[in-house]
Amino acid sequence: MRRLMGVLSILLLLGAAAWLEPTPAASAVGSSDLQEAPSPRSGHALAYDQRHQRLVLYGGIDAQQQRLGDTWVWNGKWQRLAAAGPGPRLDAQMVCDTTRGRVVLFGGMGEKERQGDTWEFDGAQWEQAVTSGPEARNLYGMAYDEQRSRVVLFGGQNAARQRLGDTWEWDGKQWLRVSQVGPSPRGAHSMAYHAERKSVVLLGGYDGKTLGDLWEWDGKTWKQLPQPAAPSRLHSALGYDAKRNRLILFGGFGERNRIGDTWEWDGKSWQSFNVAGPPARAEHEGVYMPGYGFVICGGIVGQGMAVEERTRVNDLWIWNGTTWKRVDSSD
């Protein structure tokens, strides 16, 4: 295996961009199989666990159209945890409650239907918090407001396939619906907390058409920000680089196809980066990880639209503000 990986690395170095192929990490923890990294997938949830300084990945759907309910962590190598959790979930979201040191997951598409439950992960075990709150949904957006110590949730799609436009907040004990006015009802949008602006930012999604609008939630009201230069998209990855005070945006599904562009927003305007990096994709996830950069993982690559043409991946890339690097699982 090492010899093969060495040959692959040499071939890559001779190309236009020297990206590193991941190699298998340590064996799965508490698992009887020898899987050493998450299977290729899309529609999974990803968060940075600040307390344990590692990424947490949960669920999604694999190449066999199987909905997944596995928990993985990454801090330079992948490790599968044996923690029993919410069960299979697709198009759910996770964020880290940095005040309480918990990763929070809500809803998503379960094995047969959409869910409306709330779960918290303490780094070792999943615990169901409450069953009341927002109606069951998937394709919503979620971010953690560090200034106000609240998880903010907007929109999504309910069991009747209706797009929603409500705003909810979770304080660690209960959900409260705080607004029904703001962005148009939508799904597959992206949200992130902008620490310098002390607000949650929402980008794009789908409300019957592909959107590129930019909104900001200050804890009381939504405000639409000037139209961004970034193209309209859904199922993109959006995160906040806390070191450089920038929102980072990568990929998604545009007006006609999956895209592989990189953008940054400094709070005033968008800047595009014409650099080599991850293949065009959608239904991936991204989050900022201190000491590494903006990390994206998985998704559907290429332009195949039919179910049998959708190529799912499990690659992991990091943006440092200048270049993308595909990382080895032990880097």
Please state the rounded mean pLDDT for residues 150-178: 98
> In the numeric block, which tokens belong to residue 237?
């990855």
What is residue 329's predicted lDDT score, i.e. its pLDDT?
A: 52
Q: What are the Cα distances from residue 300, in Å, to 18, 22, 209, 258?
A: 22, 18, 21, 9
Q: Has residue 219 got a pLDDT over 80?
A: yes
What is residue 309's predicted lDDT score, i.e. its pLDDT?
A: 85
What is residue 304's predicted lDDT score, i.e. its pLDDT?
A: 85
Give the type of residue at 70: D
> In the numeric block, which tokens belong to residue 301?
């690559």
In terms of Cα–Cα distance, which of 200, 116, 118, 94 is closest to 152?
Answer: 200
How far apart are alpha carbons 18 and 124 in whole angstroms?
A: 36
- Sorting pLDDT into bands at 50, 70 and 90, what band is 35? low
- Sorting pLDDT into bands at 50, 70 and 90, what band is 230? confident
What is residue 192's predicted lDDT score, i.e. its pLDDT?
A: 98
Q: Regarding predicted confidence, which is higher, 267 or 131?
A: 267
Q: Which long-range contacts (CB under 8 A, 24 or more apart) does 224-230 make?
A: 224/183, 225/201, 228/203, 228/265, 228/270, 229/263, 229/269, 229/270, 229/272, 230/203, 230/261, 230/263, 230/265, 230/270, 230/272
Note the pLDDT tens digit of each residue in 50-59.
999 999 999 9
In terms of Cα–Cα distance, which of 138, 130, 131 is closest to 156?
Answer: 138
What is residue 227's predicted lDDT score, i.e. its pLDDT?
A: 77
Domains identified in the chain and CATH numbers: 24-326 (2.120.10.80)
Q: Has residue 32 got a pLDDT over 60?
A: no
The answer to whether 285 and 272 are in contact (CB under 8 A) is no
Q: Regarding predicted confidence, which is higher, 289 or 21?
A: 289
Phi/psi for 11 (5° steps) reads -60, -40
